[in-house]
Amino acid sequence: MDDIVTVSGLGKRFASGFTALRSVDLSIRRGEILALLGPNGAGKTTLISSICGLTTPTSGEIRVGGHDVVHDYRKARALVGLVPQEINLEPFEKVINTVRFSRGLFGKPRNDAYIDEVLRKLSLSDKRESKVIELSGGMKRRVLIAKALSHEPRVLFLDEPTAGVDVELRKDMWRVVRALKDDGVTVILTTHYIEEAEEMADRIAVINDGEILLVEEKAALMRRMGQKQMIIELQEDVTEVPPALAGYDLHRNDDGDLVYTYDAKADRTGITRLLSDVAAAGLTLRDLQTRQSSLEDIFVGLVGKDPA
Ligand SMILES: Nc1ncnc2c1ncn2[C@@H]1O[C@H](COP(=O)(O)OP(=O)(O)OP(=O)(O)O)[C@@H](O)[C@H]1O
Ligand SMILES: [Mg+2]
């Protein structure tokens, strides 16, 4: 699969002197759904704004469909749609005009059939003539999506599309995003809901403190989630994994316990052999615990805090 967006060595330092992005490298594959996870202030919105050409990078390069977002702004911008984190709609404008106007801003000829189709897909047809101010918060979010789709972008960025949205509407939103993917649109979404990333994403990227910590296939992450850890508490103090046990996927945690990571779904977990080798190495068990690692654990392990 080829890449529709490439970000290399992207840095962003604001006028205040604050560095929000540090040498970010990220490739987004054509047609994928990529979830960008990270705590508040991690740099998600700054990264998205930079790709959409709304924030000027301090260093590095961003290409969308091969076009440099700084030097070839118009061509790059025409390919992307952005659903911003903040609702920024004209309250007294009608839904249909809001969406039509947005298309016009990109210099696209009027196409009511396309706009009507977008409204239909977002279940907004019956709100076509309503003023924005008359809509509920969730409907306003849909209008934001309709606006972002008005110029037929190939890449859609959704910055927290389901923040403050009820479960029903969130599921609706997921349906919309899947339908977009089926139409060949590449989707990047930021979210604080880990289950949303689990549900939707082909790949998951984790950002913290302006750095990308991980980009991984969701399926691979799920396999990692299928892993379990066995914590082996010993009577003896060990300062490192004993050489006799070097063949196992073991590490020593801060409490001086040995932690064995294994695939709970495997035919052979290796536990029996490990425990007999622990005894053979002259070590005595004090206690044993097992735990399942989740995507949330992986996230917390990476960034040291909950997903905001
Ligand atoms: N215009 C600005 N001037 C100075 N600092 C800024 C500016 N915009 C953002 N920042 C800072 O950059 C960091 C990253 O902000 P950003 O909005 O990208 O985070 P985020 O990951 O989107 O967070 P959230 O989950 O809260 O939306 C934050 O510390 C923020 O305070
Ligand atoms: Mg943000």
**pLDDT at 229 (0 to 100):** 86
Residue nearest to atom 2 of ligand 1 (CA): 14
* Region 161-180 average pLDDT: 83
- According to CATH, what is the number of the domain 3-222? 3.40.50.300
Q: Which of 49-58, 184-193, 238-247 has the highest mean pLDDT?
A: 49-58
* Region 162-178 average pLDDT: 82
Distance 90 CA to ligand 1 centre (A): 24
Nearest to 148 by CA among 170, 180, 172: 180
Structural domain boundaries in the chain? 3-222, 227-292
Quick one: which ligand is closest to 192's CA? 1
Q: Is the pLDDT of residue 208 over 60?
A: yes
Work out which ligand 1 atom sits closest to the CA atom of 39: 25
- Could you tell me the pLDDT band of residue 31, with boundaries at 50, 70 and 90? very high
Question: Residues 3-15: pLDDT tens digits?
Answer: 999 999 999 999 9
* Region 274-288 average pLDDT: 94
Q: Is the pLDDT of residue 308 over 60?
A: no
How are strands ordered across the β-sheet holding 211-217?
80-83, 155-159, 186-191, 33-37, 203-208, 211-217
Question: Residues 224-250: pLDDT tens digits?
Answer: 666 788 999 999 888 889 999 999 989
**pLDDT at 117 (0 to 100):** 93
Number of neighbouring beta carbons within 10 Å of residue 194: 19
Residue nearest to atom 26 of ligand 1 (CA): 40
Report the alpha-carbon distance of residue 82 to residue 80 in Å, rounded.
7
Question: To the nearest whole number, what is the mean pLDDT of the chain?
Answer: 90
* Region 251-271 average pLDDT: 87
- Could you tell me the pLDDT band of residue 131, with boundaries at 50, 70 and 90? very high
Q: Is 112 exposed, middle or buried (0-12, 13-18, 19+ CB in 10 A)?
A: exposed
Distance 43 CA to ligand 1 centre (A): 6
Q: Is the pLDDT of residue 306 over 70?
A: no
**pLDDT at 165 (0 to 100):** 75
Distance 181 CA to ligand 2 centre (A): 23
Q: Is the pLDDT of residue 218 over 70?
A: yes
- Could you tell me the pLDDT band of residue 167, with boundaries at 50, 70 and 90? confident
Distance 19 CA to ligand 1 centre (A): 10
Which residue reads 């006028």 in tokens?
15
Quick one: which ligand is closest to 22's CA? 1
**pLDDT at 120 (0 to 100):** 92
Q: Is the pLDDT of residue 1 over 60?
A: no
Which residue reads 């306003």 in tokens?
140
Q: Is the pLDDT of residue 261 over 70?
A: yes
Which residue reads 């005894």 in tokens?
279
- Distances in Å between the Cα of 34 and the Cα atoms of 29, 94, 167 are 9, 32, 21
**pLDDT at 85 (0 to 100):** 87
Report the alpha-carbon distance of residue 288 to residue 300 in Å, rounded.
23
Question: Residues 58-116: pLDDT tens digits?
Answer: 999 999 999 999 999 999 999 999 999 888 899 999 999 999 999 999 889 999 999 99
Report the alpha-carbon distance of residue 25 to residue 14 in Å, rounded.
19
Fold of 227-292: Alpha-Beta Plaits (3.30.70)
Residue nearest to atom 28 of ligand 1 (CA): 41
Q: Is the pLDDT of residue 305 over 80?
A: no
* Region 193-211 average pLDDT: 89
